[in-house]
Structure 1
Amino acid sequence: MATPVWPLLDTVPDEERLRALPPDRLPALAAEIRRFLVEAVCATGGHLGPNLGVVELTLALHRVFASPRDAIVFDIGHQSYVHKLLTGRRADFDRLRRRGGLSGYPSRAESPHDLVENSHASTALSYADGLAKARALGGEPDRAVVAVIGDGALTGGMAWEALNNLGAAPDRPVVVVLNDNGRSYAPTGGALAAHLADLRRGGAAQARRNLFTALGLRYLGPVDGHDTAEVESALRRARALAHPVVVHVVTEKGRGYGPAEADEADRLHAVSAGHSATGTGTGTGTVAAAPPSWTEVFGQELADLAAERADLVAVTASMLRPTGLAPMASRFPERVFDVGIAEQHAVTSAAGLALAGYHPVVAVYATFLNRAFDQMLMDVALHRLPVTFVADRAGITGPDGPSHHGMWDVSTLGAVPGLRIAAPRDTTRLRLLLREAAALRDGPALLRIPRAAAGPQVDPAARIDGTDILHRSPRRPLDVLLVPAGPLARAALEAARALESHALGVTVADPGWLLPVSPALPALAARHRLAVTVEDGTRAGGFGCAVALACRDAAVATPVLTLGLPPAFVPHGARDTLLTEAGLDGPGIARSVLRALTDRPDGPGLAAPATARSAR
């Protein structure tokens, strides 16, 4: 008889079987889980290092606590793969992070064991505080509440707001599992990291009085996070205390996989689909000759700009490499500041730098920039400070799903007075717009760049009042004006060719700067029968709405059709697939335009505005 591929995983399909497994079998099960993760995640792509580090910890959690009756909340849900394995989803890992497949984060639609569908950091303790209050109000004190948070996420202000409340409520028995691996994406810095290092070195004596006990919480640890029995013992003690308690568990990111352990940069935090399970090859699953990403082009241009300007500094929130700041940090380390997972602090700290005469560039994922809206509004814009924000992964990001799509930035930040928002259509324009933003002295600017490889350059055919005309149908009436935002320019050009096959005249215009709306756009719209905006953000309050308002303010009667993402949380999937499903590829744009022209009460034969007739 053939030996089973996963002899132990096959015997523990659920928590009940896991709890019945003899303790001496747990090390072998942990090794099997690591082998499964390496093979599965390297094939599909996903977060590898964080999950390899929490194998024994997750086994202990599910042996001590009975999910979902006991609530287990993961902060930054990319460490939840082992949890998914132990709650009946092993067969779904072959479609991890693919359209219609397993999410890379906890997902309430997948399982009742996924209580919180989060991936933004520093939130789990607040969820747990509320859940514990609900348990008390409902007369269910025997239902435990556990929050698993990494040391990197503990740098966020929200985590300390929650600890402040938990420490003052001895009757709120939340178990805070502090997964201390010395890093979030990269090594954790700051005073907290130093304090945790002291606790690791000092052992029990140091643990009697520390930051957590000073706040009123109990403290257990430090515990070897790769000894399931030791973690189990600490968790059972924590539960029995019936008091808010921190269980300090020390783990190693990338544990048990040689290439991850040897990678000091990020311990193979994430890998792309097709990454070699043996660790050979590029280590990223990408082809060596692939074109550079938008992020790489930005990073190199910023480093070059910093060489020209001594007043240029950069700020990031624990995402130095992912946002492209590594080249500048290598050349000018004293001028690059990584504040940890603390976007609000990052923005107001940048405001302080600007007050002192420096020009900060804040590089952050678009989805995380939402967290610092108040700081951008009141700390930067109110003071008209010259701070440049670079929103990486703007629009559809792909396999990371709804929590990572950068689709709300224009809708929310468009309300900030004095904020200029740009969306380059190609990397040549990225370089130019970055320099224009850094040259501003009277207020903040935001550049949106996608998570994608840099495509071919799109050169303008003409330029009118600062707006690039990318295409104009020759010897045709002015029927349709297409105004794409940033990298959707290529899709708009494809749509223009399709519309021309229907005997329509099309102009494609790229303003570069989306907000405030250039006066050239209403003027152009007035010369066409229909104006169409195309953006990879939400339509409500987005770029298209701003163009329509600008047309109304300019008394331009041309109707404006706004195309964008739906008012919904877009699932995970390939970027191109999701854009196509939203109708934001060339054929989809063309179909929307034809439908709008056909469905108009006056039909496709609608007379052109007088200004357009006189120009023919």
Structure 2
Amino acid sequence: MKFDLDQNILAQISGPEDLRELSPDQLPLLASQLREFIIDIVSTKEGHLGASLGVVELTIALHYIFNTPEDRLVWDVGHQAYGHKILTGRKEIFNTNRQLGGISGFPKRTESVFDHFGTGHSSTSISAILGMALAAKLRGEKERDHIAVIGDASIASGMAFEGLNHAGVTDANVLIVLNDNAIGIDPSVGALKKYLTNVKKGTAKDENIFECLNFNYIGPVDGHDLQALLAALGRLKEIKGPRLLHIITTKGKGLQKAEENQVAYHAPGKFDKETGKILKSGRSDLPPKYQDVFGHTIVELAWENKKIIGITPAMPTGSSLKYMMEEIPDRAFDVGIAEQHAVTLAAGMATEGLIPFCNIYSTFLQRAYDQLIHDVALQNLPVIFCLDRAGIVGQDGPTHHGVFDLAYLRCIPNLVIFSPMNEMELRDMMYTAQTGLDRPLAIRYPRGRGVNLNWRNSFNKIAIGSSEELRKGEGVAILSIGHIGNTVKEVIEELDNEQNPGHYNMRFVKPLDEKQLHYIFDRYKHIITVEDGCKTGGFGSAVLEFAATHNYKNNIEVYGIPDHFVEHGQVSELHQRAGIDPESLKNAITKTRYANP
């Protein structure tokens, strides 16, 4: 391909085969244009910014040296992969990134032959790429290469170490690129981070941990020096077996404010592409985010109760445990991307009489399911799980929607499951939990804001397994769980006076308020359950089981997330597709015609 060097180079590249026609000294200009392209799109469409800016040179070098897609390439975590997507045929549609019907914000196998493995959660790349490499070896494809790009925060996870441990005793063609930028979403933590820092400073002990694991190691290399990257990757390409390239990068590289404030610019929302200034709504009259209600409340409780401990696996900012880490640092722990460890650490603390609040995103608790059962519930230890980002989360898509928690938690003995309708119920349940609960508890709440400006209520205990009659009605009763009850409440208020549904905030999925349910089933002919979670096995299923057990014949309709993975898009768009938006719920209530028992 002949390039017109007077024109934008990136605009002339439709795939890596075009990229490889450039000379090495033309690649820095391409890097500059790629970085500018990412900034242009993300500044208006939103998305993950800092991580992809930090690997622009690496992305170009990998596709330049290796024969992708024949050589396999896995990005861990996938929010590093914007440059990869742009260079592999998705430049023209990159403005649809994370939009409903557009391309995913993460690598996705069904989207491109260049996306060899879907990566939304962290630390999966080494195991996946080793599986591909061993498959190639078994088929006799000896020349194919296999590359995993993993961040320093992700490589500290247990699963990454399991992959390293196995890969080091194979002769599979695996190249691990360790992108060392000292930060995941929040700053990296732990002993491995200290070790990598010492490597960069030249003060590490004599033995290299990766060489001890039988990897051919090169590094540290400046990850923004294209010529150094090309030389290192070219050398490693000629070596077979397990290899590791250690590169040093700056998250947010090329946008000054993103380099200066790497936490805020991980996913900054809309910003001015010229100045980098994040564009805020300017409104101060909005209810708080649920995560902040949690963060401020645990601090308030912890000052009064010295047994309270806060734990999060690498999400102190996203979960707002940062407030406790700032005010009471000796009792707040960021354990890194290690959900399994976080849960069992909390269990160990509970055996000694402490009161651990283990704050994990709903979708990430999936990674610690055995620990939840074996180490907490089986021993009936009073660990308090605060599950942020429950329900539909929006543009991060199916890897991050927290829609399975009610179903996967409900089958576990000893576990109490609570979902607050508003900020005050979240505070009250946190207060209740630390006053002598004798079993584990999961409190699940959504991403985003609550509904009350005056939310700092005085604390009140909530009786375990109790619900609340919000509105007595006739004919039809709506049973809601969690924040979506506010949508139900608004829909009911918009109905005309002839339509008179009852509304019940059930609060607990386990144990159910059976006394209230008997009353509801005796009073109403039609029952509608509403949840921001999967219908299969969730809250509605629990109500159906109750009805079957007690031989009730009422008409029951379950509204929630259908039995398929939900794509990315705005929360309101995805609620509409699932049939739990205001208009769908209004139609559901209306169509019953409020037939009286």
Residue 174 (structure 1) aligned with residue 168 (structure 2): no
Match of residue 511, structure 1, among 503, 506, 510: 506
Summarize deviations over 1:191-221 as a string: whole Å, max 9, x none: 1111112222229xx6983111111221111
Summarize deviations over 1:247-290 as a string: whole Å, max 9, x none: 111111111111011115x1611111x32223465x36443524
The amino acid of 1:368's aligned partner reads F
The amino acid of 2:266's aligned partner reads H
Summarize deviations over 1:396-432 as a string: whole Å, max 9, x none: 0001111000001111111111111111111122211
* Conservation of the 8 A alpha-carbon contact between 2:287 and 2:453: no
Aligned to 1:221: 219
Summarize deviations over 1:458-491 as a string: whole Å, max 9, x none: 99xxx99942222234xxxx31110111111122
Match of residue 330, structure 1, among 323, 326, 329: 326
Identity fraction in percent: 37
Aligned to 1:614: none
- Greater shift after overlay, 242-251 or 288-297? 288-297
Aligned to 2:146: 145
Equivalent position SS for 2:144:
coil
Aligned to 2:458: none
The amino acid of 1:15's aligned partner reads P
Aligned to 2:82: 81
Distance of 2:582 and 2:57 partners within structure 1: 49
Equivalent position SS for 1:591:
helix
Distance of 2:519 and 2:143 partners within structure 1: 67
| Closer/same/farther in 2, CA of residues 199 and 284 from structure 1, 3 Å limit | farther
* Conservation of the 8 A alpha-carbon contact between 2:255 and 2:276: no
Shift of 1:536: 0.8
Residue 240 (structure 1) aligned with residue 241 (structure 2): no
Match of residue 250, structure 2, among 243, 252, 269: 252
Aligned to 2:12: 11
The amino acid of 1:270's aligned partner reads A
| Closer/same/farther in 2, CA of residues 335 and 12 from structure 1, 3 Å limit | same
Aligned to 1:98: 99
Shift of 1:87: 0.7
Structure 1: any 5+ residue segments left out of the alignment? 599-603, 609-616
Residue 124 (structure 1) aligned with residue 125 (structure 2): yes
TM-score by length of 1: 0.91
Shift of 1:440: 4.2
Match of residue 312, structure 1, among 305, 308, 313: 308
Shift of 1:152: 0.4
* Conservation of the 8 A alpha-carbon contact between 1:148 and 1:176: yes
Distance of 1:280 and 1:562 partners within structure 2: 46
Residue 339 (structure 1) aligned with residue 340 (structure 2): no
TM-score by length of 2: 0.93
Matches within 5 A, 1:93-492: 93-169=94-170, 171-202=171-202, 209-263=207-261, 266=263, 268-272=265-269, 274-279=270-275, 281=277, 283=278, 285-289=280-284, 290-456=286-452, 466-473=466-473, 478-492=474-488
Distance of 2:6 and 2:559 partners within structure 1: 49
Distance of 1:398 and 1:173 partners within structure 2: 38
Shift of 1:329: 1.1
Aligned to 1:36: 37
Distance of 1:361 and 1:408 partners within structure 2: 21
Shift of 1:504: 4.5
* Conservation of the 8 A alpha-carbon contact between 1:167 and 1:217: yes
The amino acid of 2:183's aligned partner reads R
* Conservation of the 8 A alpha-carbon contact between 2:387 and 2:444: yes
* Conservation of the 8 A alpha-carbon contact between 1:426 and 1:457: no
The amino acid of 1:215's aligned partner reads L
The amino acid of 2:123's aligned partner reads S
The amino acid of 2:505's aligned partner reads D
The amino acid of 2:232's aligned partner reads A
Equivalent position SS for 2:583:
helix
Equivalent position SS for 2:316:
coil
Distance of 2:251 and 2:343 partners within structure 1: 29
Shift of 1:93: 2.4
The amino acid of 1:85's aligned partner reads I
| Closer/same/farther in 2, CA of residues 119 and 549 from structure 1, 3 Å limit | same
Shift of 1:566: 0.9
* Conservation of the 8 A alpha-carbon contact between 1:479 and 1:504: no
- Greater shift after overlay, 340-349 or 188-197? 188-197
Summarize deviations over 1:2-45 as a string: whole Å, max 9, x none: x9997121132321121111111222221222222122111111
* Conservation of the 8 A alpha-carbon contact between 1:253 and 1:261: yes
Distance of 2:295 and 2:436 partners within structure 1: 19
The amino acid of 2:77's aligned partner reads I
Aligned to 1:65: 66
Aligned to 2:459: none
Distance of 1:389 and 1:427 partners within structure 2: 17
| Closer/same/farther in 2, CA of residues 228 and 369 from structure 1, 3 Å limit | same
Distance of 2:78 and 2:235 partners within structure 1: 25
RMSD of the TM alignment (CA)? 2.3
Structure 2: any 5+ residue segments left out of the alignment? 456-461
- Greater shift after overlay, 72-81 or 438-447? 438-447
| Closer/same/farther in 2, CA of residues 285 and 42 from structure 1, 3 Å limit | farther
Aligned to 1:570: 566
* Conservation of the 8 A alpha-carbon contact between 1:426 and 1:458: no
Distance of 1:510 and 1:318 partners within structure 2: 33
* Conservation of the 8 A alpha-carbon contact between 2:406 and 2:509: no
- Greater shift after overlay, 27-36 or 351-360? 27-36
* Conservation of the 8 A alpha-carbon contact between 1:498 and 1:587: no
Summarize deviations over 1:95-115 as a string: whole Å, max 9, x none: 221111221111223211111
Aligned to 1:601: none
Distance of 2:391 and 2:453 partners within structure 1: 20
Shift of 1:56: 0.4
* Conservation of the 8 A alpha-carbon contact between 1:381 and 1:419: yes
* Conservation of the 8 A alpha-carbon contact between 1:207 and 1:219: no
| Closer/same/farther in 2, CA of residues 442 and 279 from structure 1, 3 Å limit | farther
The amino acid of 2:507's aligned partner reads G
